[in-house]
Amino acid sequence: MANKSLNERYNIPFGSEWKHKDGGTYIALLIEHSFKSLKLPIVSYVKILSDEERRYFIDNKIKNQFVRTVDHFKNSFTQIEPK
């Protein structure tokens, strides 16, 4: 299918949950090319925060948005199957 989204192409569905190998659960958002000329696919994702973590992020002005290349993401995370 020529018109697949990058999320479909790399099998990282928008809104899917992923467990990091060191702990923590994250939600995958958008995959896009970081540099149009290089076509390097990157994943934007956010951490599912506990109340304590949310307070820490707010108090320390930490933005809950992260970016990794698709390869790095898939090597660091395991998808959590929907219930």
Whole domain around residue 38: which residue ranges? 6-79
Residue 76 and residue 42: Cα distance in Å, rounded?
14
The C-alpha atoms of residue 18 and residue 81 are separated, in whole angstroms, by 9
Number of domains composing the chain: 1
In a domain, 34, yes or no: yes
The structure's pTM equals: 0.86
- The answer to whether residue 1 sits within a structural domain is no
Closest CA to 18 of 39, 45, 52, 42: 45
pLDDT tens string 37-56: 678 899 999 999 999 999 99
No. of H helices and E strands in the chain? 3, 5
On whether residue 52 sits in a domain, the answer given is yes
CA angle 57, 19, 14 (to 5 degrees): 85
What pLDDT digit, counting tens, does each position of 17-31 carry? 999 999 999 999 999
